[in-house]
Amino acid sequence: MSEQQQSEQPERRAGRRVVIVGAGMAGVQTAVALREQGFTGPVTLIGAEPHQPYDRPPLSKAVLLGKAEDSAFDIDFEALEIDLRLGREVTGVRPAAHELDTGSGPVPYDVLVIATGAEPVVLPGAEGVPGVHLLRTLDDAARLRPVLDERHGVVVVGAGWIGAEFATAARSAGCAVTVIEAADRPLAGAMPAEVAAPMAAWYAQSGAELLTGARVARVEPGRVVLADGRTVPAGAVVVGIGARPATGWLAGSGIALGPDGSVTADRALRTSLPDVYAVGDCASFPSARYGERLLVHHWDNALQGPRTAAANIIGAADGDGPAPAVYDPVPYFWSEQFDRFVQYAGHHGGADTLLWRGDPAEPAWSVVWLRDGVLVAVLAVGRPRDLAQGRKLIEAGARLDPVRAADSSVPLKSAVRQ
């Protein structure tokens, strides 16, 4: 690199304006990663909510139960020279002009990062019905706290991760809880039947009633009416039937979206348009590890992806910097439900072998998935060592001896074929 190029480089890096839309985990971490990696240019972080940026997992736990008022990130945005613009809705983007449309006027950018996350799926016909709640935002948690404080009978629609976590919180608060699930088992969209089936017993053990194969026909004040005519009394209804990428505001922008509504980022987390990146719950990415495009709606993805995006934004500003950083993580998430700590790493979609480690009737057990003998995913219930070792083995592409891997007394790392 010539002396002239070296002298120009700080100026180029300082001059490019990065605007991040979305002030959740992914957006905040992108802004922080830019600063940590040496970017000195203007960084603007735009959030639709008026609250100081906060972490979402505590909403279904400490915040919901009144053990914490909020879960704001402990970040000094002013010291990092991050221009925080809260309570501002972004309504569109005009890439040709490099401008965002907001309710308070256009916002120019040189580099745009889309980090708008996901929005909950709404139960048809339930909008506007008194006593119907979602649990996605700090305001949602604030509205639900009195429900738990007053010990209303609660109906939860959906036995996925969020439904199980809310049911857990409601039971611990002393509420009567009924969970309604359209599928024949909890976590039907996330886990195979043989793995999810044992989890159904957790509900009864906690004192909650689980109704499977039950479809909601409509929600009326004070009750939920099922498709078969049964009615379930409800002091409050909490809907947790999934989430979808919050990308409607990108309509007409030319930024490519997938069939699931996600921004189809490449392996460097760049979108189909130059100078536009996407991170977190709103973005899917191609995984060479798993041979398919992944859309991961979990906290760890919103933490890890921004580091790759920031590195590539800085590399693009440097002009002749290193090859783009590649994002191909081992997906990871956890859930605290019914006095159990559940962890999952990997992606079992293409697996051909499922092995149990332990008895699912016991408090602690795990499951591993193999593809052509290679470990691709692990689910651990109360077995953190299995998860920690399994995650590293997945990253390494380790091949396991299935007999030893199915022996819960054998550490997973000791089941690797030599």
Structure confidence at residue 63 as a pLDDT band (50, 70, 90): confident
Q: Return the DSSP state at 237.
A: E
Architecture of the 339-415 domain = 2-Layer Sandwich (3.30)
- Mean pLDDT throughout 273-293? 97
Integer-rounded Cα Rg, in Å, for the chain is 23
- Mean pLDDT throughout 375-404? 98
Least confident piece of the model among 56-60, 157-161, 409-413: 56-60
Domain ranges of the chain: 3-118+243-318, 122-239, 339-415
Token code pair at residue 19: 């605007």
Tell me phi and psi for residue 253, to 5 degrees.
-85, -20
The per-residue b/e assignment along 268-292, b for 16 or more CB within 10 angstroms, e otherwise, is bbbbbeebbbbbbbbbbbbbebbee
CA distance 252 to 405: 50
Q: For the segment 321-337, what is each residue's pLDDT rounded down to a tens digit?
A: 667 899 999 999 999 99
- Encoded amino acid at 13, one letter: R
The reply to whether 339-415 shares the fold of 3-118+243-318 is no
Least confident piece of the model among 43-47, 55-59, 142-146, 374-378: 55-59
172 burial level (CB within 10 Å; 0-12, 13-18, 19+)? middle
Architecture of the 3-118+243-318 domain = 3-Layer(bba) Sandwich (3.50)
Starting at the earlier edge strand, list the strands of the sheet with 107-108. Answer: 90-94, 99-102, 107-108
Token code pair at residue 276: 């536009």
Residues whose CB is less than 8 angstroms from the CB of residue 1 and which lie 6 or more positions away in sequence, other chains included: 320
CA distance 9 to 2: 11
Question: Which pLDDT score is estimated for 311?
Answer: 96
Average pLDDT, the chain: 93
Question: Which pLDDT score is estimated for 140?
Answer: 92
What is the three-class DSSP state of 317?
helix
Question: Which pLDDT score is estimated for 1?
Answer: 35
Predicted confidence (pLDDT) at residue 11 exceeds the cutoff of 60: no
- Contact present, 42 and 83 (Cβ < 8 Å): yes
Residues whose CB is less than 8 angstroms from the CB of residue 407 and which lie 6 or more positions away in sequence, other chains included: 357, 415
DSSP strands (E only) in 204-339: 209-212, 216-220, 223-226, 231-233, 236-239, 243-245, 263-264, 276-278, 283-287, 292-295, 332-337
Predicted confidence (pLDDT) at residue 3 exceeds the cutoff of 80: no
Q: For the segment 203-236, what is each residue's pLDDT rounded down to a tens digit?
A: 999 999 999 999 999 999 999 999 999 999 999 9
Residues whose CB is less than 8 angstroms from the CB of residue 151 and which lie 6 or more positions away in sequence, other chains included: 173, 174, 175, 176
Question: In 3D, which of 337, 401, 336, 338 has the Cα closest to residue 368?
Answer: 401
pTM score, whole prediction: 0.92
Question: Which pLDDT score is estimated for 376?
Answer: 98
Could you write out the DSSP letters of every residue in 58-126? GGGTTTTTTS-S--B----TTTTTEEEEES--EEEEEGGGTEEEETT--EE-SEEEE---EEEPPPTT-
**387 half-sphere exposure, CB direction, 13 A CA radius:** 17
Predicted confidence (pLDDT) at residue 201 exceeds the cutoff of 80: yes
CA distance 79 to 297: 30
Q: For the segment 75-123, what is each residue's pLDDT rounded down to a tens digit?
A: 999 999 999 999 999 999 999 999 999 989 999 999 999 999 999 999 9
Least confident piece of the model among 18-27, 65-74, 154-163: 65-74
Question: Which pLDDT score is estimated for 6?
Answer: 39
Predicted confidence (pLDDT) at residue 393 exceeds the cutoff of 60: yes
Fold exhibited by the domain 122-239: FAD/NAD(P)-binding domain (3.50.50)
Higher pLDDT, 319 or 240: 240
